[in-house]
Amino acid sequence: MKAITLSFLIVLAFYSFSNVQNKGLFEFREFQKAVNNQTRTRTGEPGARYWQNSSDYKLEARVDDSKNILSGKGSIVYHNNSPAALKDIHFRLYQDLYKRGTARSVPLPVEDLHDGTFIGSLKINGIQYMIDNKPVNQNQITIFCTDLCINLTDSIPTGSSAVIELSWNFTIPSSTEVMRHMGRYDDNFFLGQWYPQVAVYDDIRGWDDTPHLGLKEFYNDFSNFDVTVHAPDGYIVWATGECDNLNSVLDEKIIEKLNYALSHDSIVSIIAPEDHKRSIIKGNVWHFTADHVPDFAFAVAKNYLWKGTSIIADKQSGRRVLVDIVYPADSLQYSKSIVVARDALLWTSFEFPVIAFPYTHATSFFNGSRDGVSMEFPMIANDATRADHNLHTAIVAHELFHNYMPFDMGFNETLFGWMDEGWAEFLENRFKGDNYSIYEQRDLKQYVSTAGTLSDSPLITASAELSFTSFAFMYLVKPCIALMLLEELMGGETFLQAAKAFMNSWNGKHPSPYDFFYTFDRFAGGDINWFWKACYFDYGYADLGIKSVDKNKIIIERKGNIPVSIRLEMTYDDNTQEKIYRNLNVWKTGATEYPVKIKTRKNIQTIILGDKLIPDVDNSDNVYQR
């Protein structure tokens, strides 16, 4: 009887462990806790008790072009929807990246360094915590790089809100350094990460207190914004959200052309060169609102040109989306980008992932820098230009696709930046197709040189191993290739269904990697943990080779652990050819060899394994010659 009981307990314990680990797929303990708390599930859907916090921002920004300073003030109403009373609160002071002496993971020019964000005043529920950039009580304030933590005098109870009043200013980066997400570009400005932002408190980790060191990107709550921008005289403002006082700031003829673009498919020169020969700006105080977005950014420029068109993103409702570009007048390269931008959003709305573009407009602001960094924000992107036209247009599309991920789906880019960047890179390559493929031109080459080296690590822990030299590979190349392999494994239609389900379940929420894995599991038609482990959890690389050839079969050896499909092109002695394909699921058992049977009596002259789209770190054994 004791033996039976002990055996039963062992079986029960093993079953429980297997259930927790989802048949062997490793889970972080934080995710296991979230499942137990019913905020997450192992089906990939949000749990019955899922929650997230949010803020209502009412801010004013004043851009001083003579002193190169942004000054801001306003209020934030922070809503605590979590089940916990919050004893502290974290703010992100992104401009402290430029603070002298702070830690950072990217090189910055000396001329851009300053004293950091100056907090003139910070009150929470009427209690003063900072004044003149100094803590009222040193024991309540901790600043670590860009993270400002305040130990609250009074907790924020669950289900209640806190009113935050603050003022601040900082010096706007303005060097010719091209590795900037924002700043001054000649006489024009793009302002992102410009306000003290309440950090995310979520159901998995609690407060996201990870400082921004310049390389990893961002993780934001979905919030509402009411923003007033005081621009320098003669400047126009473009931003996240909608401007509701255009009649006070723009000439009526410009507004007429904008309204025409908003309602027609044709491309309209909203501001053409001849428009700058007359006064088209009536005021310098611009007011914008944006609801349920993860961030707010704006551009301020003078003498720029503006083109726009609109698409019907949702045929059922007839909802139109403005697609527009704002650019310097010195190059035709910019003006051609609007066609790519328009076609990209039509493609996502009706071809893949067949989800209507989620916002009212998509603005590409070209800052005039060459070969610099482009950076996405909701409804507006800060774009540099590339000398290569194809690369330039591909990056324009890439930044626009970020409106789906991470802006419609609030990924944690700080910990898992490969999620949104991988999807954007995947969409970009699927959209461009045979016309131009960054995957073929750049990603595969970098995969061959980097996969399996010291610059490579498992995607699930990529953030911990990220370096300046490995960023593009870990956040763009490797996850893009993993998604392309996943699509091939599942088949295009099934993959599309899974992608739509994932996006529909998690739009406006904070999906984790496991929500991605488990959603696709539902559609896979079988256990694909072997794929997740190889492509997301394990060290490894893709490498197939021809091990041996005889008259009846070809032995293909899997020397790397990343599963890829087998594609063979054979030429026989009578010069006829045959192609053989095996899906990458032939490796699901963990086998390191696969026999390809030959059904002809012809003599094989040559065999070529793989093609230009299949990753393979060593193709020296991919050709057989008799």
What pLDDT digit, counting tens, does each position of 103-129 carry? 998 889 999 999 999 999 999 999 999
Q: What is the pLDDT of residue 354?
A: 97
Q: What is the pLDDT of residue 2?
A: 40
Integer angstrom CA distances of residue 209 from 66, 117, 146, 574:
35, 18, 9, 67
Q: Which residues of the chain have pLDDT under 70?
A: 1-23, 178-179, 332, 433-438, 464-465
- Spatial contact of 409 and 507, defined as CB atoms under 8 Å apart: yes
**Degrees to nearest 5, angle at CA 258 with 257 and 261:** 90
Could you please state the CATH topology (level 3) that the domain comprising 242-283+303-401 is classified under. Answer: Zincin-like (3.30.2010)
Q: How would you label 155-191 residue by residue, b for 16+ Cβ within 10 Å and e otherwise?
A: ebeeeebbebebbbbbbbbbeebeebbbbbbeebbbb
Query: Please, which residues bridge with residue 604 across strands?
Result: 572
User: What φ, ψ does residue 37 adopt, rounded to 5°?
Assistant: -85, 0
Q: What is the pLDDT of residue 465?
A: 66
Q: What is the pLDDT of residue 433?
A: 65
- Spatial contact of 417 and 465, defined as CB atoms under 8 Å apart: no
Token pair belonging to 339: 């066609």
- Spatial contact of 16 and 8, defined as CB atoms under 8 Å apart: no
User: What φ, ψ does residue 140 adopt, rounded to 5°?
Assistant: -100, -5
Taking domain 544-625, whether its CATH number is 3.30.70 is answered by no
Q: What is the pLDDT of residue 466?
A: 76
Pick the CATH number of 53-216 from 2.60.40, 3.40.50, 3.90.660, 3.30.70: 2.60.40
Q: What is the pLDDT of residue 391?
A: 86
Could you report the per-residue pLDDT of 484-506, keeping only the tens digit for each? 999 999 999 999 999 999 999 99
Name the nearest CA neighbour of 520 among 546, 548, 551, 489. 489
Cα separation, 520 vs 540, whole angstroms: 22
- Spatial contact of 409 and 220, defined as CB atoms under 8 Å apart: no
Q: What is the pLDDT of residue 444?
A: 84
